[in-house]
Amino acid sequence: MGYQYTRERDYKEGLISSNLQLVNFQMGDDLEDGVTPREFFDRNNKRIDKLRITLFDNDGKIIFTSEKGECSVIMAHFEERIISIGSANIVKQIYNDQEYIYAITRHNDITICSSLPYSISFIEVFSDNNAFLIVIIAISVLISIIGYITSTLYRSLESATKELDKEHEVALREEQDKIRLKRQLTNNINHELKTPVCSILGYTEMIMNNPDISMESCRTFVGKAYDQAERLRHLMTDLSTITRIDEAGEMIDKESVDLHKMVDDLIDDVMPQSEKQNITIKSNICEPTVVYGNHSLLYSIFRNLVDNAIAYSGGRCIWIDLKSESDDAYYFSVRDNGIGIEQKHLQYIFERFYRVDKGRSRKLGGTGLGLSIVKNAVLFHGGIIEARIEELGGLEFVFSLKK
């Protein structure tokens, strides 16, 4: 807009200057032809509104002025000054707050000074140039819209890229974690398998290398080898369960499972051990509490938690409770009133092969995979699980299962 204003102003000034110069030349010619200054002025004043003409002789005296009265004298003196300072043909001057353009021409012994007041304000330029103003505003609006769209697009692209980067980072970390866990698992498996296999080899070698061994010792060694083989079988079963959930989750069959009946059966199944240790098991799971899932995995969740409470807690009671339910999930708790575990173990307890008391776990035939199976099975059924240390002693496992 500034550029357009300057352009318009230069154009107008140029137009006025050339008109005034033309007037001066014409006047010079007309004066030679005998036309009086007044006649010339009257003729041209009709054509050019607000035109002023003053003539000076060589001594700078006023020969003619178009203005009348006192004003004419003041104006004429003002023009005198202009002539003295104006070496150029065209001079711009301000008089009485009004801008004037003067054209000064020497013709023989006369100096012709014609002038026109002019003003050109910013608003004037643009009120005369509606079309230009509209185009400028339209372009500005268009540029603003394009700017807004571009910046919005840029911002959303930036956030999408950041989101994608974050997702990639998470995926990469998950992949690295998986590889690390797999390597850890392989190392642990080797270690866990070695112990029973070495024991079995040891006992059988002992029998083979001692042909005179007594029947009783032979029965003892065979019994020990059998126990180790049992442990090996147990380990294989647990490993295959974990691998099944990990690698072929989508192949696992699902059906409607009534957890009320399943937990009742479970209590019957563990009765021999619980009675032997004088432990009472209570359940409040009402009928029907139905989950769409895999029966054997659901059973292993409750079974591992109850087996652990019987084996490690040293408590007198185990509670299997349905705490609450939402539209799409059940919330359970399995807790005991035993010794619990130290806080520092809590964060590792679901890791594969993690045991609080290694010796006791092995002695009791534990594989260190029980809680890892529980966690994977809960996740498989769309739930989450966490372990809590009970204030009055004992351990509580709280978990959800999708209906």
Q: Rounded CA gap, 147 and 143, in Å?
A: 6
Nearer to ligand ADP, 162 or 360 (CB): 360
- Which part of the chain contacts ligand ADP (CB under 6 A), choosing from 59-67, 110-118, 177-185, 370-378? 370-378
Stretch that binds ligand ADP, among 240-248, 262-270, 280-288, 303-311 (CB under 6 A): 303-311
Q: Does 368 bind ligand ADP (CB under 6 A)?
A: yes
DSSP three-state, residue 17: helix
Q: Rank residues 33 and 391 by Cβ distance to ligand ADP and give the closer one.
A: 391
Binding residue for ligand ADP, selected from 188, 241, 300, 308, defined by CB under 6 A: 308
Among 336, 376, 378, 383, binds ligand ADP (CB under 6 A): 336
Using CB under 6 A as the binding rule, whether residue 37 contacts ligand ADP is answered as: no
Among 100, 302, 312, 332, binds ligand ADP (CB under 6 A): 312
Interatomic CA distance for residues 360 and 336, integer angstroms: 18
Is residue 262 within 8 A of residue 298, CB to CB? The reply is yes
Residues 6 or more apart whose Cβ sits within 8 Å of residue 357: 312
Whole-number Å distance between alpha carbons of 296 and 301: 9
Residue positions counted in the chain = 403
- Judged by CB under 6 A, the residue of 349, 377, 378, 401 near ligand ADP is 349
Q: Please give the full DSSP string across 218-283, using - where no structure is assigned.
A: HHHHHHHHHHHHHHHHHHHHHHHHHHHHHHHGGGS--EEEEHHHHHHHHHHHHHHHHHHTT-EEEE
> Residue 232, interface with ligand ADP (CB under 6 A)?
no
Question: Quick one: which segment of 21-29, 85-93, 133-141, 307-315 binds ligand ADP (CB under 6 A)?
Answer: 307-315
Q: Which residue number, 65 or 337, has a Cβ lying nearer to ligand ADP? A: 337
Residues near 280 by beta carbon (within 8 Å), at least 6 away in sequence: 274, 316, 317, 318
> Does residue 193 belong to the site contacting ligand ADP (CB under 6 A)?
no
Give the interface size with ligand ADP as a residue count (CB under 6 A): 23
70-109: which residues touch ligand ADP (CB under 6 A)? none
367 contacts ligand ADP (rule: CB under 6 A) = yes
Asked if residue 230 lies in contact with residue 237, where contact means CB atoms within 8 angstroms, the answer is: no
What's the closest the beta carbon of residue 361 comes to ligand ADP, in angstroms?
A: 3
8 Å CB contact between 382 and 362: no
Q: Which of 55, 245, 371, 401 binds ligand ADP (CB under 6 A)?
A: 371
Q: How far is the CB of 312 from ligand ADP (least distance, A)?
A: 4
Tokens of 396: 């509580």
Which CB, 65 or 283, lies closer to ligand ADP?
283
Q: State in angstroms the smallest separation of the CB of 351 from ligand ADP.
A: 8
β-pairing, 98-107 vs 90-95, is antiparallel
Nearer to ligand ADP, 37 or 368 (CB): 368
* Helix, strand, coil share of the chain (percent; to 5): 60, 20, 20
d(CA 101, CA 68): 20
Task: Please report which helix (H) or strand (E) contains residue 81, including its range.
Answer: helix 69-85
366 forms part of the interface with ligand ADP (CB under 6 A): yes
- Does residue 196 belong to the site contacting ligand ADP (CB under 6 A)? no
Among 44, 361, 376, 400, which residue sits at the site for ligand ADP (rule: CB under 6 A)? 361
Q: Is 338 in the site for ligand ADP (CB under 6 A)?
A: yes
Apex 345 CA angle, 344 and 347, nearest 5:
90
Region near ligand ADP per CB under 6 A, out of 6-14, 85-93, 267-275, 364-372: 364-372
